[in-house]
Each structure stands twice: as structure tokens, then as C-alpha cells.
Amino acid sequence: MRESDIVDQDGWLRGARRVDSPNYDARLAGEPPSLLVIHAISLPPEQFGGDAIIRFFSNTLDVGEHPYYQQISGLRVSSHFLIRRDGELIQFVSCNMRAWHAGISSWLGRQRCNDYSIGIELEGCDDLPFEHEQYAQLLRLVEALRVVYPIDAIVGHSDISPGRKTDPGPCFDWGRLDSQGRLPGPLD
């Protein structure tokens, strides 16, 4: 593990660019994260680059910039991490806090996944493959998080919110990550 891939005691990864989001609150006392949730996001949909995702998670998105933004106007959401198409890693919320990424959700019968999970957004969509750099960064991130937190499952947003969410979508290659022997998929 690289020195830049260390999560400090405050829940911030040294190697990530930090952009603070106001969309979080305290975790329940004594509840370390044990679940990683993989998401996909692009703003506008199926368009990559730019800073719309950052502005969305920071509550500074101008909803007049694109017709789609009217649909998400007023939402207050965030994620702990975003992995851009080029592999850049951005952290919005300390892993020690509860980011608002999962919404109505449940894993193995346990409700409110935000309470015990870390959200990882990949810049992407259901219809296009993710980039090699994103998978490489995801593996480094998972390794760093497992050093600090008792992660026992890694799932897609669609696994914890079936019927409501589809991400990370069919183009996310769970098998590619499984072949590394480091990342259990949603059925483990």
C-alpha cells in the first residue's frame, strides 16, 4: 500500500482531493462502516468531465444549466468518494461520518445502509463501460479502507435498492474485480 493510500484517524484518505460536502451527519455511536456501496453517476446523464457532480454534492449546482438538473433540484445527497474517468479520486465526506448516498435501502435484511456503509461513486452510467483507471483506483481505495474499517461486503446501489436503482449498472465488471482476489461481489 502506498503512503498516499492511508485513511487518517479523522476518516480522510491522504491521496484523495478533498471537496467538503454539507450533506452528511454523524454515524451512530460505535457503528464503524462494514459495507461498501458502489454507485455510478454522470451529470448531465451520460456526459463525463466538468464539475457538475462536485457542484451537485456541494449544493451549488445551477439547475438552469441543463434541463435534467430540474429533476434533481432540491436533492441533498453526497458520497464519501468519487472516482473520475481518469482515475482521479475525490473525497466529499469523512468515512467516520454518514454520507447521504444510499437513500431507502437494505442489505441482508438490515435497513438504512447509510448508517453502516461508505459510498463510492464512479463517474459513469449504465450504458458505457468504466475505465481501467477507475478499476485500479477502486482496488487501491478498497484496500486502504479495509485496513481501517471492518468491511465485510461490497455491493452495488442496485443490490441495496432493487427496483429503485440500477447503478453501477450492467457495464460494471464485477468479475474483473473478483479476478484480483480482493473484492467480493454482491453475492458473497
Regarding beta strands 81-83 and 110-111, do their DSSP bridges make them parallel or antiparallel, or are they unpaired? unpaired
Which residues, in sequence order, are bridge partners of residue 99? 24
- 121 catalytic per annotation: yes
Residues 100 and 115: their CA atoms lie apart, in Å, by 9
Displacement of CA 81 from its chain's centroid (Å): 5
The candidate with the shortest Cα–Cα distance to 83, out of 122, 42, 30, 139, is 122
Query: Active-site residue among 3, 46, 65, 121?
Result: 121
- CA-to-CA separations, 102 to 31, 85, 98, 110, in angstroms, rounded: 16, 22, 10, 13
Rg from Cα positions in the chain: 15
Q: Annotated catalytic sites, by residue?
A: 121
